[in-house]
Amino acid sequence: MELGLEGKSAIVTGGSSGIGAAIARELAREGCNVAINHIHQDAQARKIIDEIVAMGRNGFAVETDVSDFGAAEEMVAAVVSKFGRLDIMVCNAGINWDGVIWKMTEEQWDKVIAVNLKGYFNYNRAAALVFKDQKSGKIVNISSINGMRGKHSQTNYSASKGGEIGLSKALAKELGKFNVNVNVVAPGMVMTDMAKSLPAEFLNAAIDETVLGRIATADDIAHLVAFLSSDKARHITGEVFKIDGGQYI
């Protein structure tokens, strides 16, 4: 299916590895120029940008902490300057720092909320400033099924991911009159390099929760994000799409 993304421009936060890298590649394959940001992943980021350029697209990477409010506006301005426009904002950058709540420190809580929730606010807000003026745009926020159901030892992560959903629904209401769509993709376990390093019992437990008997690939997530970034999804906004092989149910 042709998605009609040729010549569009996108930002993917946390785009140097895992799900973010898959999304960046997918958007480039569909015709987008893509900018990514990262923290301390210079080599990985260069590799992704090289792949984007090899597809005939424009791309660049920025090393920045997504919790930095001013840096979000600077990155959006850089994309508009270098690409001439911004059409798609995908917020994906996130961290986890797990622990049961009676052992969780204030630092653990604050850091996860700062990256996973404030970071989404920063980049959603910066994109909204552009999108409302141009009367078009797509925002896709990557949450998690654990933001919907909660997860043992992840009160900070679950709260941040649930907050992303609330943020997205409210923003969909605010931006709808400007022809801007805001949606959420909520993956279950995804077979990233980080997941591959988990003990086998954790992966097997996740597989047992699914009804399809398998773990998603990062490309499974990227395909849905590309669709939601296109005008094929022009009448979809404020929705949360679980992509988890039935893990949630």
Strand ranges (DSSP E) for 112-161? 137-142
The three-state secondary structure class of 141 is: strand
Which residue among the candidates 120, 123, 157, 248 is catalytic per the annotation?
Answer: 157
Q: Angle at the Cα of 45 (from 183 to 30), degrees rounded to 5?
A: 50
> Can 157 be counted among the known catalytic residues?
yes
31 in Cβ contact with 56 (< 8 Å): no
Upper half-sphere CA count for residue 55 (Cβ side, 13 Å): 21
DSSP letters spanning 7-55: T-EEEETTTTSHHHHHHHHHHHHTT-EEEEEESS-HHHHHHHHHHHHHT
Distance of CA 112 to the CA centre of its chain: 15
Backbone angles phi, psi at 125, to 5 degrees: -65, -45
Residues involved in catalysis: 157
